[in-house]
Amino acid sequence: MKKILYTVMALMCFVCCDKTSPTPDPGPGASPQPEETLAAAIIGEWHYTDASLGADIYLGLTENKKFELYQKIGDGAYHLYKGSWQIDEESAVLSGKYNDSQAWGSEYDVAISGDGKTLTLSPKASGAEEKHAYTREEIPASVSEHCVTVVKSEDYSPVF
């Protein structure tokens, strides 16, 4: 009986000292998952409304670094702009190009709320302290199905 007890104790010591054992639980409130990148946090669909400009904008950012921008200024239809985007993770600066290779009118300082529901874009090109707060919201089918697709970005002047 003593041999079995010693064998079980030896096995327990061996298992407890094994270097491949899982990392201990970090405890309540701690996040055991790796930190999310800013690029991953901004992927999704966003909505911005500016009553002073009469602007209504939907922005879709995809994992493959493509964007769709639906913009309506005043009355009329939404205009769809497409292109690609990139973000500098260190400086939190978002930039992009339309499908006709024209760069956006500005690069943007990016901030995202802790709950991931608000995306704030601040244009670097303007002298003013502008901040555009987008809320996470799906692009309605009524917008995407009834928009005017813009081929050349210079044909219209997008706010973005």
Q: What does the pLDDT average to over 64-68? A: 97
Helix/strand/coil for 142:
helix
What is the predicted pLDDT for the residue at 107? 95
Q: pLDDT tens digits for 68-77?
A: 999 998 888 9
pTM of the model: 0.72
Q: In the block, which residue shows the tokens 């999310």?
A: 36
Query: What does CATH list as the number for 42-155?
Result: 2.40.128.370
Q: The tokens 């409130």 sit on which residue?
A: 29
Give the long-range contacts of residues 25-33, CB within 8 A, separation 24 or more.
none
pLDDT of residue 54: 85
Residue with tokens 């409304």: 49
Nearest to 110 by CA among 96, 100, 101, 122: 122
List all residues 6 or more positions away from 16 whose beta carbon is below 8 Å from its beta carbon.
none
Between CA 16 and CA 18 the distance in angstroms is: 6
Within 8 A by CB and 6+ apart from 54, the residues are 73, 74
Q: Using one digit for the tens of pLDDT, what is the confidence trace for 99-150?
A: 999 999 999 999 999 999 999 999 997 666 788 999 999 999 999 999 999 8
